Amino acid sequence: MTKIIQYTGEETKEEEVKDALTLAQSPINSKQILHIMQKTPKSHVYSRPAKGGGRWDYVTGVYVKKVLNFAFGWQWDFEIKDHGREGNLVWVLGRLTCQLSGDRKIIKEQFGRADVKTKKGSNEPLDFGNDLKAAATDALKKCASELGIASDIYGKEEFNEIKLQKIDLPEPDIKKLDMKEIKKQSEKIKEKLKNETND
């Protein structure tokens, strides 16, 4: 809830209103939500070749930690719950815990992975510790993305920019139209909207 205080002359009016950013009462406030869900600054978005072709956009672990620090006031923790190696990759199960007021917490768990880098001409790991750190960073980023951090990067298909535009359509004279004509006009409007959104 957000308190709105209005000063009207000698009278002070105070009312509580629900935050407009969530449908349910949230354990985090609107400022935190806006910071977490913000569009990722272009200076923090990087690109690398994707396995199987194409390119993959990503953010660094440093960026994710800065967002967590700012949004939760350094009151968060990340721990590795489990780890292992399968062939030429290492995986970790990480847990992100964000401390809220009182005993309330937000907890997210996710897996992260990294390729095991080997010495040239050998199957011996170059630095297995670095591979584990890379997998841990991957797990942290995945946990943070479940909160909404960098959701515009990792969930591009789900977070399309919405554009509002006015469409000028002739106003039908309802008094002169029968139900068939109203339905026909409605279909024309739907078709026009569909065509404009596909452009």
pLDDT over 70 for what percent of the chain?
74
pLDDT digits (tens, 9 = 90+) for 184-195: 777 877 777 777
Helix (H, G, I), strand (E, B), or coil: what is residue 125?
strand
> Any idea which of 13-22, 129-138, 150-159 has the lowest mean pLDDT?
13-22
Q: At what angle do helices 61-72 and 30-37 cross, to 10 degrees?
A: 170
The predicted structure's pLDDT at residue 108: 95
Task: Give the DSSP H or E segment for 68.
Answer: helix 61-72
Q: How far apart are CA 71 and CA 68, in angstroms?
A: 5
Please determine, for residue 6, whether its predicted confidence score (pLDDT) is greater than 50.
no
Is residue 141 very low, low, confident or very high in pLDDT (cuts 50, 70, 90)? very high
The predicted structure's pLDDT at residue 42: 92
Residues 6 or more apart whose Cβ sits within 8 Å of residue 99: 72, 75, 76, 77, 105
User: Average pLDDT of the chain?
Assistant: 80
pTM for the full model?
Answer: 0.66
The predicted structure's pLDDT at residue 159: 54
The predicted structure's pLDDT at residue 197: 58
